[in-house]
Amino acid sequence: MGNIQTEVKEVKLFIDGEYVESSTNSTFEVKNPATQEVIAHVHEATNEDVDRACRAARRAFEEGPWRKMTVAERCGKIRRMAEIIIERKEELARLEALDVGKPYHVALEREIPRAAHNLSFFADFMEKQGGEVYPMEDEYLNYTRYEPVGVAALITPWNLPLMLTTWKLGPCLATGNTAVIKPAEMTPLTVSLLGEIAKEAGIPDGVVNVVQGFGADSAGEFMTTHPDVDLISFTGETTTGKGIMKNGADSLKRVSFELGGKAANIIFEDANLDKAIPVSIQAAFMNSGQVCLAGSRILVQRSIMDEFVDRFKKAASELKVGDPQDVSTNMGPVVSEEHYNKVTSYLDIANDENSTLVYGGKRPDLPDYLQDGYYLEPTIYIQEDPNARICQEEIFGPVVTLIPFDTEEEALEIANNTEYGLNGVVWTDNLQRAHRISHNVRAGTIWVNCWFVRDLRAPFGGFKKSGIGREGGHHSLEFFTEAKNICIALK
């Protein structure tokens, strides 16, 4: 049975500083995607539980010390949360690998440190904020305060559970709001621990609450319709975002959405392929392709297509697919049976659309104990028609499509031929072209000769159906605050 952890956990709700059972004691199962073994029984929050969590968060906001304490004191506690995450990084990485199926070493080296950094970054950033002053000659003086909004619903997906939750929690807390968090139902383990981490860091009860459950007619929907929730920060599918917006509309909740993507990764003939190929492999297959920023459409200039295909295929064949807990594994399974069925349905679609299979397309050979896991080989197609479904729809799995192009204009047209606009990538040694492409691809982030390099001060979010609003740096602070202007007569 390999080295996969098999202890079954009981995951409770964290409400008002305590771990509690669901009011009906009903639970749902979470499975290890590498083996299908049950790894957790999770308490599903009822409407009553969500109500308790939201009311606790409201009380902590209105009556508790959190928003009134000095910024230095508040941010000190948030930094302490970050330290605890680092102190517990092996445990958290192991749980993330168990829950999501991602390689342990990727969680350990990349995602858990980033989860901690999300908190410490916003604590530091908040402490450095100055104010705004608008003098009106000697007669009046305006100054502007940024005050917390209230109770935030933070709803996150399963692909990067702790990392994407702290990306919201950091600015939410630093600005003095309180939070009700709901991780994805498939991956509750690490986010559940944020309750005890917050408590140990000295965050007052009620400031951080974690409820568990599903979306529609479950915890997610109960949160987004709850009268005590003032704002919703959501990362997930575009269709879910639409539903949440409708549900939040009656009580005019403020929303920030990070939604799906279908990024173009454009490889020009003057690109340095020694760099472009390994990074494009990462962009296609990191986290089994379950990354909203994935470079899932690789646009390759026709003059270098043959060379690119040969080298890209060879690099994909060298990825070790296997046990997420094994340090030599590059790629694990996809997250669930339902998702596996969705991802593999695109193999038939690709076939029906006359795509050329270059590599993969089947289950890899694996040891017996992984036979039930939701594994798919890294899969590469060539498709000439940019309107084909595999070029248009977010597969969110280890399936990448190579699309040839001849000219820069054509590359741009294909890159923008999508309803999404989260990010784009361009590989070229021509500086002018790099700028031209960057200016003309309609997406929130463009990486030139690199991918997924993040500076948390920079705006992050999507054009078109990839989102609403921006997070990162002052963009996050603005989302989580109300600006108040105070005008004082000086005479």
Ligand X SMILES: NC(=O)C1=CN([C@@H]2O[C@H](COP(=O)(O)OP(=O)(O)OC[C@H]3O[C@@H](n4cnc5c(N)ncnc54)[C@H](O)[C@@H]3O)[C@@H](O)[C@H]2O)C=CC1
Ligand Y SMILES: O=C(O)/C=C/C=C(\O)C(=O)O
Is the CB of residue 275 less than 8 Å from the CB of residue 254? no
Q: Given phi > 0 = left and psi -120 to 50 = alpha, else beta, which region is 137?
A: left
Is the CB of residue 348 less than 8 Å from the CB of residue 362? no
Report what 184 binds from ligand Y, ligand X, none; CB cut-off 5-8 Å by kind: ligand X
Instruction: Tell me how long the chain is.
Output: 491
Instruction: Give the whole-angstrom CA distance, residue 53 versus residue 48.
Output: 9
Report what 393 binds from ligand Y, ligand X, none; CB cut-off 5-8 Å by kind: none
Subset of residues 263 to 302 that bind ligand Y, contact rule: CB under 6 A: 291-293
Pairing of strands 399-405, 178-182: unpaired
| Residue 53: its H or E element | helix 47-62
Instruction: Give the whole-angstrom CA distance, residue 72 versus residue 75.
Output: 5
Task: State yes or no: residue 260 binds ligand X (CB under 6 A).
Answer: yes
> Exactly one of 54, 57, 115, 155 binds ligand X (CB under 6 A); which one?
155
| 258 counts as catalytic | yes
Q: With respect to ligand Y, which residue has the nearer C-beta, 287 or 383? A: 287
> Exactly one of 82, 259, 299, 319 binds ligand X (CB under 6 A); which one?
259
| Close Cβ partners of 370 (under 8 Å, ≥ 6 residues apart) | 2, 34, 35, 322, 323, 333
68: its two tokens: 């009134």
**Cβ-proximal residue to ligand X, closest one:** 215
Subset of residues 292 to 311 that bind ligand X, contact rule: CB under 6 A: 292
Could you tell me which residues are beta bridge partners of residue 181? 154, 210
Q: With respect to ligand Y, which residue has the nearer C-beta, 17 or 33? A: 33
Instruction: Map residue 468 onto helix, strand or coil.
Output: strand
Task: State yes or no: residue 154 binds ligand Y (CB under 6 A).
Answer: no
Instruction: Give the whole-angstrom CA distance, residue 208 versus residue 87.
Output: 20
How far separated are the first and last CA of the chain, in Å rounded? 80
Q: With respect to ligand X, which residue has the nearer C-beta, 338 or 429? A: 338
Report what 360 binds from ligand X, ligand Y, none; CB cut-off 5-8 Å by kind: none
How many CB atoms are closer than 10 A to CB 62? Answer: 12
> Exactly one of 347, 422, 437, 477 binds ligand X (CB under 6 A); which one?
422
Q: With respect to ligand X, which residue has the nearer C-beta, 224 or 401? A: 224
Report what 167 binds from ligand X, ligand Y, none; CB cut-off 5-8 Å by kind: ligand Y
Task: State yes or no: residue 312 binds ligand X (CB under 6 A).
Answer: no
Applying CB under 6 A, the span of 86-94, 156-164, 185-193, 238-246 interacting with ligand Y comes to 156-164
Q: With respect to ligand Y, which residue has the nearer C-beta, 259 or 391? A: 259
Report what 182 binds from ligand X, ligand Y, none; CB cut-off 5-8 Å by kind: ligand X
CB of 240 to ligand X, least distance (A): 3
> Exactly one of 49, 111, 228, 394 binds ligand X (CB under 6 A); which one?
394
Catalytic residue, chosen from 221, 258, 377, 394, is: 258
Report what 260 binds from ligand Y, ligand X, none; CB cut-off 5-8 Å by kind: ligand X
CB of 259 to ligand X, least distance (A): 5
How many CB atoms are closer than 10 A to CB 329? Answer: 21
> Exactly one of 61, 257, 381, 460 binds ligand Y (CB under 6 A); which one?
460
| Close Cβ partners of 89 (under 8 Å, ≥ 6 residues apart) | 108, 112, 113, 116
> Exactly one of 185, 205, 228, 377 binds ligand X (CB under 6 A); which one?
185
Task: State yes or no: residue 39 binds ligand Y (CB under 6 A).
Answer: no
Q: With respect to ligand X, which residue has the nearer C-beta, 78 or 292? A: 292
Subset of residues 444 to 473 that bind ligand X, contact rule: CB under 6 A: 462, 466-467
The set of long-range contacts for 91-98, using a CB threshold of 8 Å and a minimum separation of 24, is 92/162, 92/190, 92/193, 94/5, 94/325, 95/189, 95/190, 95/193, 96/161, 96/162, 96/187, 96/189, 96/190, 97/324, 97/325, 97/332, 98/4, 98/5, 98/32, 98/39, 98/189, 98/324, 98/325
449: its two tokens: 């000769």
| Residue 178: its H or E element | strand 178-182
Token pair 């915890």 in the structure block, residue: 219
Subset of residues 217 to 246 that bind ligand X, contact rule: CB under 6 A: 220-221, 224, 235-237, 240, 243-244
Applying CB under 6 A, the span of 16-24, 178-186, 203-211, 475-483 interacting with ligand X comes to 178-186
Instruction: Give the whole-angstrom CA distance, residue 441 versus residue 212.
Output: 38
CA distances from 94 to 6, 88, 91, 324 (A): 12, 10, 5, 9
Binding-site size for ligand Y (CB under 6 A) equals 9
Applying CB under 6 A, the span of 77-85, 123-131, 158-166, 342-350 interacting with ligand Y comes to 158-166
Q: With respect to ligand Y, which residue has the nearer C-beta, 15 or 291? A: 291
Q: Given phi > 0 = left and psi -120 to 50 = alpha, else beta, which region is 107?
A: alpha
Choose among 485, 456, 470: nearest CA to 123.
456
Task: State yes or no: residue 164 binds ligand Y (CB under 6 A).
Answer: yes
Report what 112 binds from ligand Y, ligand X, none; CB cut-off 5-8 Å by kind: none
Contacts to ligand Y by CB under 6 A: 159-160, 164, 167, 291-293, 454, 460
Contacts to ligand X by CB under 6 A: 155-159, 182, 184-185, 214-216, 220-221, 224, 235-237, 240, 243-244, 258-261, 292, 394, 396, 422, 462, 466-467
Residues with catalytic function: 258
